[in-house]
């Protein structure tokens, strides 16, 4: 069901410093910051030859990233994202297998302009999993 790894998301306490580190220290292709109000984050994508890194920074006081950064003040890996061909079919299969979908269970449009869903980390070895339809 899952396809290739789309990205690894890292929550960061300082978006500009993290982007500069990837750009200047690691020599990576760093995109511009983009606000994603529906998800409560500002993101920066770093394009690698085989995948992407997504830097996450809180957008507003109700951002889900605030709680993560309170527990992990230096930041850290927040989630991994896998591609799926059909997000609704993937959701239905996961629900039938007993997995929990976060939120309403309906896909939202993610930072790439494609439908996404998040899976409960307690169902996936403590890892928050995002599915993105390709």
Count other Cβ atoms within 10 Å, centred on residue 17.
9
CA atoms within 13 A on the CB side of 87: 21
Residues 6+ apart with CB under 8 A from 17: none
Residues 6+ apart with CB under 8 A from 4: 51, 82, 83
Which residue is catalytic, options 54, 83, 130, 132? 130
Distance CA 100, CA 114 (A): 21
Residue 48: what pLDDT? 96
Whether residue 132 lies in the annotated active site? no
pLDDT tens for the 134 residues of the chain, in order:
999 999 999 999 999 999 999 999 999 999 999 999 999 999 999 999 999 999 999 999 999 999 999 999 999 999 999 999 999 999 999 999 999 999 999 999 999 999 999 999 999 999 999 999 99
Domains and CATH numbers, the chain: 5-133 (3.10.180.10)
């Amino acid at each position: 069901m899952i396809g290739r790894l789309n990205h690894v998301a890292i929550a960061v306490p300082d978006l500009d410093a993290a982007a500069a580190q990837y750009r200047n220290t690691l020599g990576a292709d760093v995109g511009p910051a983009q606000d994603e109000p529906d998800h409560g984050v500002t993101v920066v994508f770093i394009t690698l030859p085989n995948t992407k890194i997504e830097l996450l920074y809180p957008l507003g006081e109700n951002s889900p990233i605030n709680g993560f950064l309170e527990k992990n003040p230096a930041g850290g890996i927040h989630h991994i994202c896998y591609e799926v061909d059909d997000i609704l079919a993937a959701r239905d299969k996961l629900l039938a297998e007993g997995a929990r979908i976060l939120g309403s269970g309906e896909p939202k449009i993610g930072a790439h302009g494609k439908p996404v869903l998040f899976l409960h980390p307690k169902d996936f070895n403590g890892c928050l999993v995002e599915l993105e339809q390709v």
